[in-house]
Structures are given as C-alpha cells and as structure tokens.
Homo-oligomer: A and B are copies of this chain.
Amino acid sequence: MAVRALGASRRAQVGALRGASTRAQVYQLIRRAIVSLELLPGQALSENELAAQYAVSRTPVREALIRLADEGLVEVVPQFGTFVSRISVQDVIEVRFIRETLELASLPHAVERIGPEGERKLRRILAEQEDAEQQGDLQQWFTTDEDLHRTLLEIGGHPKIWPIVSSAKAHLDRVRMLPMPDPGHLQELRAQHSAIVDHVVAKDLPAAEQVLRHHLQLALDALKPLEERFPDYFSEE
C-alpha cells in the first residue's frame, strides 16, 4: 500500500530504462545514485525503503544489492543492514595502477591498428566532450570520458578489458565526483585526451604513453586533500 503510493513518483524513472528487467533497472538506478554521491558513503540502505522508493518488491532490490556488493559498492551485514561502502584509498590507488597498466599495454596495439575510421570516432568523441564542457554538463563529460578510454581499448583490439576496468573503477568514479572540479581542470584533462589521440594517430607511442600515464596520475594527486576534507567518506583501513 504505502509501497505503491510512495513509489508512484519514481515509476517514471524506472520506466525510462524499460527494455531491461526490473532488477537491471533498479541496479542501474542505485549504482548511479552511489557513484554520483547522491547516496553517501557509510549511509545505511534498507531493502524495504528502496523497494518502496522504486515501487517494486524487495526481490529485485535485493538482487541488485547482491550485484552491487560483488562490485564492492555496498556492504551487506547479515541480519543487520546494508551500507554504502566507504571509499578505500588503497583500492583507489590499486585500481588506478590496474587501469594504467592495462591501458598502457593496449596502447601499442592501438597505435599499430589505428585507421581512418578509428580516428574519426575518436575525434567525434573529443568534439562531444568539448560540447559537454562548454555546456557545463558534468555527467555528459564523464560519459564521453568513458567513451574515449573504451574506444582506445577497442581500437587496440582488447574490448574485453573495458568491463573489467569499468567495474573496478567504481571507487575511482566517486572520488572524481567529489570536488565538482573547476572548468579549468576539465579543460586540462580534455587537452590531454586530445594530445593522446594526436599521438596515437601520429603513431608516436612514447609520447602517447607519457601523456596517458600523466593523465591517469592526476586523479591520484587530488586524493590526499579530498581525504582530509571528506574524512567520513573514506574508510580507515
């Protein structure tokens, strides 16, 4: 009763993701809420509450939470509660290392295999990113950022690497959402993207490697101050 009544407003959101199962929809919604820091690290989640919010039963919510627990985005304590995971600094560092390693390893293949089609694709993504930047659309900016890195992997002939990087980088994404970075920062990141693409197209591997390495390092430099500023969002460990 209360369930259906409360959920009516959210029904539209769910409907926007139709085509997939309810579980998949709920999973996406909760995941986005966590990564976008709408749901804060450490916050308690209730299967019942979530079910009410999304106007579904506990089952799909529960199944979505299981998947999120596998990704490390939530922690389930039996008979006690479910909580949004705090950000582990160690995890962030390690994920960055993994990502850097895999993307660098793929880069030589990308340089080798890049053709006119790949270049068009990359240029188009860069253009989209510039648009997003000028319109101040952060969400869209991050989306194009993902597109770029994924496309580079695909051009390198390693499409399966992305899902691994993607699921591992959830914590990284939350860090990225923290400071609502100033436009200047975004501009710098995009300039680096542009440089990487140029180097890859020009088949200048060492230069591309150097920029990519520096590019992924930036997220880490911002970590320490953020940890001091938002201590509640990080785990002690």
Contacts and interface: CB of A to CB of B under 8 A. Distances in A.
Interface of A: 21, 23, 62-63, 66-67, 70, 78, 90-91, 94-95, 97-98, 101-102, 105, 158-161, 164, 168
A159 B95 CA distance: 11
Contact of A160 (B67, B78, B90): B90
A100 B87 CA distance: 28
The number of times this chain is found in the oligomer is 2
A159 B67 CA distance: 22
Contacts of A164: 98, 164, 168
Contact of A102 (B21, B63, B67, B101): B101
A97 B98 CA distance: 13
A63 B64 CA distance: 10
Contacts of A160: 90-91, 94-95, 98
6 contacts: A21-B78, A63-B66, A98-B160, A105-B105, A164-B164, A164-B168
Contact of A97 (B62, B66, B97, B105): B105
User: Could you tell me the dominant secondary structure of chain A's interface residues?
Assistant: helix
User: Closest 8 CB pairs between A and B?
Assistant: A94-B160, A101-B105, A63-B66, A101-B101, A164-B168, A101-B102, A67-B70, A94-B158
A204 to B, nearest CB: 22
A103 B168 CA distance: 17
A70 B31 CA distance: 15
Contacts of A95: 160
Contacts of A161: 94, 98
Contacts of A62: 63
A159 B91 CA distance: 10
Given A98-B161, A105-B105, 19 more contacts: A21-B78, A23-B66, A63-B63, A63-B66, A66-B66, A67-B67, A70-B70, A90-B160, A91-B160, A94-B158, A94-B159, A95-B160, A97-B158, A98-B102, A98-B164, A101-B101, A101-B102, A101-B105, A164-B164
A156 to B, nearest CB: 10
Nearest to A109: B97
A91 B102 CA distance: 15
Nearest to A100: B105
